[in-house]
Structure 1
Amino acid sequence: MAFALLPLQESDIPRCVTIYFAAFQNPHSLGCWPRTPSVRAWWEKMINDELHAPGARWLKAVSVESGSIAGFIKWQESKPGVVPDADLPEWPQGADSSLCNETFGAWARAHRDLMGSRGHWYLEIVATDPDFQGKGAGSLMMQWGLDQADAQCQEAFLEASPDAVSLYERAGFREAGRVDTFIDNERVKGVWYRNMFMIRSANREKV
């Protein structure tokens, strides 16, 4: 199946939030984010606010055949000499703020501690519509950022759930750390969730 890679537009954001909620059915996403109008509005505003932020590269994979958005991605450009920010936002009404603070806080600190001020491209978020998963849209979006990193001889960093690790390993990422969290709230009952931190070394052969 063929896909075109295009810049994400403001008009695409509602569709992207729908894709995100459909793609992320793991205990962490379900525990953090009830699928309510207030949470959806928060996600739409967050993407809209960050769409034109310095260094943020939001892209969409569009089916050439149907014109439908198959997935979207946010790559953050390399910032040599800048330590990743570990500050957290204010969470939306209805979200499990305690779980969000615990997990996103730990993940942000791990990003900061693992990468420090070394320049790197950061794959912050990627989501593919379940109807298009396994057909190449996700790989296309990921490879775009890896090509940028290779062109600049930079590392790449991402966070991953265990079921995505093999995909990222095939792209050259290797595990650099992990955090396990016990999730127990009204939506998710007593489940351990693992998040993994992965780094892809700079590809000096392409420089």
Structure 2
Amino acid sequence: MTGAWLEAYHRASLASPDQHYLKISLDSASSPPLVAFVKWDFNTTAPGHRFPAWHADSDGAFCDAFFGSMDEARRQIMGTRQHYYLDTLLTHPDYQRQGAASRLIRWGCDRADQDGLPVWVDASPEGALLYQRLGFRDVSVPGITPEGAVSMLRDPVPAAAS
């Protein structure tokens, strides 16, 4: 994650009490100290732009179209229905498949279950397998969800069922 994105996330965290940033890091001075990071958005009805400016080396038109299509799929499925949104999840490659991402996902899903709300995530095809194991289902919108992405929804689990 670039310094510009980290700075943008830091500014957003100070201004947006409904956005929750969690990390799993190592207590030692080993490298890398950051194991995994997640951004949860608990207010999906508030207007506003989700992403910092694209890096100068990125294809801005492609990024706008790709991420815009994912947002359009979410709007078509969810409409104005309140839900939690798993916005960003990163795991350092040295720590993948060791449970860190699952732990960060479960934190938000537990909160959504307590509040009786569904959870939305846009996943890569590889990441979709992890989300399916955690109760998400593919709700991709043909012709809207872009190739290389999977639109996923998890309905709340009542307390008696968990």
Aligned length: 155
| Unmatched runs of 5 consecutive residues or more in structure 1 | 1-16, 18-39, 182-193
Please say if residues 66 and 146 of structure 2, whose CA atoms lie closer than 8 Å, have aligned partners that are also in contact.
no
- Distance of aligned partners of 1:199 and 1:56 in 2 relative to their CA distance in 1, 3 Å threshold: same
How high is the TM-score relative to the length of structure 1? 0.67
The equivalent of 2:152 in structure 1 is: 198
- Distance of aligned partners of 1:86 and 1:48 in 2 relative to their CA distance in 1, 3 Å threshold: closer
Counterpart of 2:101, as a letter, is G
CA RMSD of aligned residues (A): 2.4
Please say if residues 84 and 117 of structure 1, whose CA atoms lie closer than 8 Å, have aligned partners that are also in contact.
no
Structure 1 segments, 4+ long, off by >4 Å, are: 64-67, 83-89
Superposed CA deviations along residues 112-146 of structure 1, whole A, max 9, x for unmatched, are 22111111111000001111111111111111001
How high is the TM-score relative to the length of structure 2? 0.83
Counterpart of 1:203, as a letter, is V
Q: How does 1:31-50 map to 2 (within 5 A)?
A: 40-50=2-12
Among 79, 91, 94, the alignment partner of 1:131 is: 94
Among 92, 106, 120, the alignment partner of 1:157 is: 120
The equivalent of 2:36 in structure 1 is: 71
| Unmatched runs of 5 consecutive residues or more in structure 2 | none
Give the structure with the higher percent strand: 1
1: distance between equivalents of 2:48 and 2:77? 13
Tell me the percent identity. Answer: 29
- Distance of aligned partners of 1:199 and 1:41 in 2 relative to their CA distance in 1, 3 Å threshold: same
Look at both structures and tell me which one has the larger radius of gyration over its CA atoms.
1
Counterpart of 2:156, as a letter, is A
- Distance of aligned partners of 1:206 and 1:57 in 2 relative to their CA distance in 1, 3 Å threshold: farther
